[in-house]
Amino acid sequence: MSKGMDVAAEQLVIRRATSVDAPAVLKVFDEVIAWFVQMGNKEQWGSEPWSASPRRIQLVEDACALPEAWVAQDERGRLLAALVLGAAQPYVPPATEPEIYVRVLVASRDDRARGIGRRLLAFADNRARAAGVQRLRVDCYGGGTGALVRFYESCGYERMTTFSVDGWPGQLLGRSLKAAAAS
Q: Mean of the pLDDT values across residues 87-111?
A: 94
Strand, coil or helix: 137: strand
pLDDT tens-place string over residues 43-72: 777 789 999 999 999 999 999 999 999 999
Residue 139's pLDDT band (cuts 50, 70, 90) = very high
Residue 75 Cα distances to 8, 50, 112, 174, angstroms: 12, 26, 11, 32
Report the amino acid identity of residue 61. Answer: E
What is the fold of 7-182?
Answer: Aminopeptidase (3.40.630)
133 burial class (0-12, 13-18, 19+ CB within 10 angstroms)? Answer: middle
Q: Which segment of 5-14, 120-129, 174-183 scores lowest on mean pLDDT?
A: 5-14
Quote the pTM value: 0.89
Q: Mean of the pLDDT values across residues 89-101?
A: 94
pLDDT in the model for residue 180: 61
- Give the relative orientation of helices 22-38 and 54-64 as an angle to the nearest 10 degrees: 130
List the chain domain ranges: 7-182
Q: What is the CA radius of gyration of the chain?
A: 16
